[in-house]
A and B are shown apart, each in its own frame.
Chain A
């Protein structure tokens, strides 16, 4: 069995592709540096991540694949699910080796896997766009805590900048402990040094702007009244709006 060790970064993964072609040895297993190798390793290689290798592989892919697929590769990476790096690796390899463009060959295991991974991640991006709830802080910044399953914050900021371009806002991933701050011009990565400002997915009340509570109440009242009793269907509600989000959804708090 061939094993490659790398630093579990996307750049590292592309460097691993480069090394594999340079050595004509392809990994059966991708491990993080420091992981315990399995028994019966035939060939083992430690990848050094380096920008030139990354760049070479990426520009090679750019020639072989439509832009959409390049995006899909990054989406699959941000899924952070076990084995997704191996799918990406095999996909890239097929893209380089096959004479035709593999992008729509859904009969292929890895092409289909990549598509499915991408779908899961973009679903999560959509959930963010749907269910993020901003709360206005006393200083006028709109604050939204979230906890997505996949690491999708970087994929969601584009939409938020577009939509809320004339207000200052923060989205914050409570699980991964980082977020983005937008100051009406640019987006910056940030972290909270003091998470006590958050309580159960909500801003502490003393940090809220004066009328924030009223607008939350108005919205809740609106939401409650909207239900048509004759059509009750809570199962359908949960299907469309997964319960794991409710903690952050004003009207479900």
Chain B
């Protein structure tokens, strides 16, 4: 490896770092004889940058040359920045060597568009294919598919990559056209469709033959930039909900807009909308793990998420009639809706109330945040000072987070060797 790779790595990382979908989750693959690596369930973070984000994959671009000119992107053609490219072999060596030292879970490869989408895809494909077949790399690979790539190439990529993604970037087509004139929804949805189809076909094949190859076993993900355009949260979450309906769509990422370029089409903002980004993740979380429908979170009257309180509390305050909930008798779904009770404590509640009645004290020990939960529950000895006595308005004051508390916590999970109930 030549010394000039140091410079290349710097340029190409700076170009890739704004893509925030870095998780290495979604597939468990044990080690195989003669191969390097394994993947584990939720994925492992190996480091945290000074902005507090998880480093799991080697997230880098093959090249930051690009023939497109997307207004929000640091690599757009019209930007005057240093440009370079790694050779496929250089990227392969970096991945292998970093992996062997336990720096990373695997590779997240993306690229600026050289010549045309397919030419670019072929270069990326060479890297992932060689990693798997020549170097017998068994760790995680996330490959960003290029908008407008052909079916054949997407299909081949799915045989080697664990996860494929195509970023939507802008939540409405009209605004996408405005900011990224070289792109269209069609050029994004088409490869998304190829991936979806690949996932379905492989599932079908594998039902017949256990040995049929797996296609992108960790499914696909996508990303939207939040705050670069005028869409409200209802539009954004509505789109997410629709995307999650698709087979194999595992994650939608929200990236608070950071002004990188000076451009008349873009809003002037002083700082990234980090609180809003965090609220969107919380809402996304409610849809995926708390059995909330998108219309319960945002609607015509409330098209934007409340920045001062989280969306679950917000729902509870709008629905005092659903409370108080009796933790000793209510079903799991109801318990999940109580502010201050997460998935883990809800499970513990349901498991332990079989043996004895739960008290306020035992709830606190289990991990329930009583400061919040007390207004929404009954458990025989609690004083009756619920949301009805306190009123939703007062609780909103009382339980609002100071804005700094509401700063994003990037969601990450410990790997699933969970010995914990």
Residue from B30, B136, B351, B407 in contact with A233 in the complex, judged by beta carbons closer than 8 Å = B407
Point out which of A106, A119, A241 has the most chain B C-beta atoms below 10 A from its C-beta.
A106
Which residues of A51-103 are within 8 A (CB) of B? 68, 71-72, 75, 100, 103
Is there contact, CB below 8 Å, between B44 and A165?
A: no
Interface SS majority for chain B: loop
Interface residues on A, range: 35 or more
Is there contact, CB below 8 Å, between A240 and B48?
A: yes
Is there contact, CB below 8 Å, between B101 and A100?
A: no
| CA of A231 to CA of B98, assembled, Å | 26
Q: B residues within 8 A CB of A118? A: 419-420
- Does A9 lie at the interface of the complex (its beta carbon under 8 Å from any beta carbon of B)? no
Interface residues on B, range: 35 or more
Which residues of A210-232 are within 8 A (CB) of B? 211, 214-215, 217-219, 221-223, 225-232
Is there contact, CB below 8 Å, between A230 and B272?
A: yes
Is there contact, CB below 8 Å, between A72 and B35?
A: no
Which residues of A135-183 are within 8 A (CB) of B? 135-136, 142, 144, 159, 161-167
Bits for B391-414, please: 1 = Cβ < 8 Å to A, else 0.
000000000000000010110101
Which residues of B194-219 are within 8 A (CB) of A? none
Interface stretch of the complex, out of A19-27, A121-129, A190-198: A121-129
Is there contact, CB below 8 Å, between B51 and A106?
A: no
Taking A166-B34, A237-B49 as contacts, is the C-beta distance between A134 and B14 under 8 angstroms? no
Is there contact, CB below 8 Å, between B52 and A225?
A: no
What total of A-B pairs shows CB separation below 8 Å? 184
- Does B245 lie at the interface of the complex (its beta carbon under 8 Å from any beta carbon of A)? no
- Does B360 lie at the interface of the complex (its beta carbon under 8 Å from any beta carbon of A)? no
Interface SS majority for chain A: helix
Taking A222-B9, A233-B407 as contacts, is the C-beta distance between A100 and B355 under 8 angstroms? yes
Can you spell out 26 A-B residue pairs with CB atoms less than 8 angstroms apart? A100-B355, A105-B354, A106-B352, A107-B355, A118-B420, A119-B420, A126-B44, A129-B415, A144-B102, A159-B417, A163-B37, A163-B38, A163-B102, A165-B36, A214-B3, A218-B1, A223-B49, A226-B17, A228-B51, A231-B51, A231-B272, A233-B52, A234-B50, A235-B52, A237-B49, A251-B103
- List the 4 closest pairs (A to B, CB-CB), nearest first: A236-B52, A233-B52, A231-B51, A104-B351
